[in-house]
Structure 1
Amino acid sequence: MDLYRNLLLIATVAFVNFLFYFYVMMFMATEKAEIEEMKKLLQLQYRNLPPNKDLPNDDVSIPMEAPKTTEQAFNVDPRSNYSFSLNNDQACTTSNSTVFLLVVVFSTHEHFENRKLIRKSWGSVNVVDDRHIVTIFLLGRVHDHDLQYEVEEENKEYNDIIIGDFDDTYKNLTLKTIQTLKWSTQFCPDANYVMKTDDDMFVHYLNIVQFLAGKTKKKNYAVGCYMKTKPIRNVRSKWYMPKQIFSKNIYPPFLSGTGYIMSRDLVSRMYKVSSEISYLHLEDVFAGTIWEKLGVKPEGNSKFHNYQVKYSHCAYQKLFTSHTSPNFVQIWTEMKVKRKESCK
């Protein structure tokens, strides 16, 4: 009987040890997979392509040694005094009138079709009620010679593309925000308002210009889809924020990066302090931390949507922004045809 109990005890201990080591190995494998997943997401290493000799490589937006933990992957500040490897610095001086609204559309080299559709639809509008609009596309750099060449040829036709001298990665979206502030301040300083949006958005210029023209507040003004959320601590989330990077339990008020507008003076002030703020890879949250430092309270407007609004003529006649649908050029055409139809 004692022998039986001893054997059972030994077997139980062995099984417990097995489970312990099994779970340890599973945890280590999961942690390693999460780190690799975040490396891919952030693209902290150059693409495995030959370097582009036409682009300077002195400043890189990645550490020389790959991060060993997920937190280290985020604890990287890629800011530098980046220039523009492709620049249309005369974009705001082509007309005789002052630019009322500068719209900077975040795009990537591969999104040729998105830019084409925007130019054929809402981006084709350059004047509303005698107020001038300038639309430009902001990209980062790639190390693919063919893609770079195609974009340069595209720009020769349209003269509306700017390329920042930093790698075009998810983590570097914040660099695009800083470059937006920089370009606007240096090359379009007289624009009354600057709008940031993405190349998968539908933007209703007529409604936006008429809205802004009726504003009495002209300074320290930011408006868009109002957000006040908590940091996501789940490492698998696209919007993961390590506590070591942002320790507070709630973000300062910010505006969804899908589309927001800033007054001219605010853009200049934001650019001046952008190097003093802790770097966050979530670009719209980063903008919110700048506004918090400047004592600016962003305003929300329900006509800015950070999701796709189901199309109806009256719904789109009233909104400012919406995520696009595959047939948004058709939507744009229908809107022009039905423009004078009344909506309740």
Structure 2
Amino acid sequence: MGRCCKCNGRLLCMCLLPCMMTGHLVIYIMVSIFVTISHFPPKITIHYIAPGISTNSAALAPHPVSPFWSLRLEDSAIWNQLQHAWDRQYNPILRGNTSGMMSKSKARLSTEIEDECLSNCMSRKCTVPRVHDEDNLPEQIREFIGSMHCREYPLLINQPNLCRNNFRIESPMLFMAIKSQVGNFENRQAIRETWGHSGLVKGESSKKWGLVRTVFLLGRQDSSTGPHPDLQNLLDLENQKYGDILQWDFRDTFFNLTLKDLLLWRWLQQYCPTPFFIFKGDDDVFVRTDALLDYLHKVREEHVLWRAYTNETDLNLFVGDLISNAMPNREPSAKYYIPESFYKGAYPPYTGGGGVVYSGSLALRLTEVSERVRLFPIDDVYLGMCLHRLGITPSHHPGFLTFDLSFTDKDNPCAYKSVLLVHRRSPKEMLLLWKQLQNLHSQC
């Protein structure tokens, strides 16, 4: 009887042991989870994206870990201060919350500045908040600050029928807008004779044709950068022959390149509202237009297929050589110098260099959102700012070689097989390269 009880006790212990061990393990896991939650709660950092048009109805748009757009007011940086005022002016929630963030006088700052600037824009007498070291700033920065509120400039040379055929509006497959200057005739002529030919262009491998329309974007010749001969009469003759020049009445300087984007978007709205794709580039790049058309035909076909399964009708394509995590250049002697007294913070992702491609539907949205983004002196960065407001990140394409090929490949035609754009090329190099790249597939 005793031996039987002893056996039953052992059996009971062996049965209970796994249960006890499992119980202890469950308790240990629960305690561990409780301690972890208590001491290390999950940190979900939500960065506010500036108010404006978004790609969806969500309150937040895609954003980097370190946000470019910030609600914090930077009193000592003029661009941040002016943009801060606009963010509140266009956002009804933020507009009512000025306590602790913005004094009433600062809240009225934007309206007062806009009223004065609208009346004095063309006379360059716009008043902006004082910069503490304004007298020590480079002249081009001071000039930009004095006219950064001006967005309306009359057209000196227009092409109202560029996208019309027998009074019907055409829809070019590719609208090529090239930033040039009055004196760069050789560049424009080399582009006309090579990759910028306007008309029907056949793709490289797909053999599909696409209508291309090319236009050159110019401002007024800037006499302040040095003695220049008066070339306006020659420009008028050039325009009479080719009919591909748009010229506005603003000084054509490096820091005014942003104006060419704004004024182009408005011109497209009025005169050429339905291009499928837009190329924006400089007049010292070389573009393999036939290969670019192949790429865009493929993008368009994929979008049509995708549209069949979704409700999205707009194609938000913006592609080029992507630059991320960039900071302003603080070296006073640099071409891209941006002082802290003008702008503080990082740059948003943007496509740099000589050229980008974006969809025509996106151009219309950029026109609208640009009305809520203060002008910035570097045009590539400004485009990145506008895209950021739309919640769109530009795409990188390895075929956009804005820093050129390697020295050993530069003169090898077969090295260009996967290239869509290369920067930089002189007019002579464009003509030579164009001849070398004919029938590239058969050569390589």
Residues 101, 191 of structure 1: 8 Å contact kept: yes
Partner AA of 2:275 in structure 1: A
Separation in 1, partners of 2:186, 2:234: 12
Separation in 1, partners of 2:390, 2:357: 16
1:205 maps to which of 257, 279, 289: 289
In the alignment, what sits opposite 2:235?
151
In the alignment, what sits opposite 1:327?
429
Separation in 1, partners of 2:396, 2:193: 29
**Misfit runs of 4+, over 4 Å:** 60-65
2:416 maps to which of 303, 306, 316: 316
Separation in 1, partners of 2:150, 2:392: 23
**Counterparts in 2 of 1:139 and 1:60: CA distance versus 1, 3 Å:** farther
**Counterparts in 2 of 1:132 and 1:68: CA distance versus 1, 3 Å:** same
Correspondences of 1:55-204 after superposition (within 5 Å): 59-60=122-123, 68-70=135-137, 73=142, 74-76=144-146, 77-94=148-165, 98-124=171-197, 126=199, 127-128=201-202, 129-142=208-221, 146-204=230-288
Residues 60, 166 of structure 1: 8 Å contact kept: no
Residues 121, 150 of structure 2: 8 Å contact kept: no
Q: Give the deviation of 1:284 after TM superposition.
A: 0.4
Separation in 1, partners of 2:121, 2:157: 17
In the alignment, what sits opposite 2:14?
none
Over the matched positions of the two proteins, sequence identity in percent amounts to 29
**Counterparts in 2 of 1:231 and 1:317: CA distance versus 1, 3 Å:** same
**Counterparts in 2 of 1:201 and 1:331: CA distance versus 1, 3 Å:** same
Partner AA of 1:137 in structure 2: F
Separation in 2, partners of 1:333, 1:125: 18
Partner AA of 1:297 in structure 2: T
Q: Secondary structure at the match of 1:260?
A: strand
Partner AA of 2:216 in structure 1: F
Partner AA of 1:333 in structure 2: K
In the alignment, what sits opposite 2:317?
221
Alpha-carbon deviations, 1:279-309, whole Å to 9, x = none? 2100000000000011111101010011233
Rg (Cα) greater in structure = 2
**Counterparts in 2 of 1:62 and 1:258: CA distance versus 1, 3 Å:** farther
Matched, 1:240 2:337: yes
Instruction: Name stretches of at least 5 consecutive residues in structure 2 with no aligned partner.
Output: 1-119, 129-133, 203-207, 304-313
Instruction: Name stretches of at least 5 consecutive residues in structure 1 with no aligned partner.
Output: 1-56
Give the TM-score, by structure 1 length. Answer: 0.76
Correspondences of 1:252-291 after superposition (within 5 Å): 252-291=348-387
Separation in 2, partners of 1:257, 1:339: 25
Q: Give the deviation of 1:61 after TM superposition.
A: 5.6
Alpha-carbon deviations, 1:93-117, whole Å to 9, x = none? 1487521110100000000111111
Separation in 2, partners of 1:222, 1:258: 14
Residues 140, 168 of structure 1: 8 Å contact kept: yes
Corresponding pairs, count: 285
- RMSD between aligned alpha carbons? 2.5
**Counterparts in 2 of 1:231 and 1:209: CA distance versus 1, 3 Å:** same
Q: Secondary structure at the match of 2:389?
A: helix
Give the TM-score, by structure 2 length. Answer: 0.60
2:403 maps to which of 289, 307, 322: 307
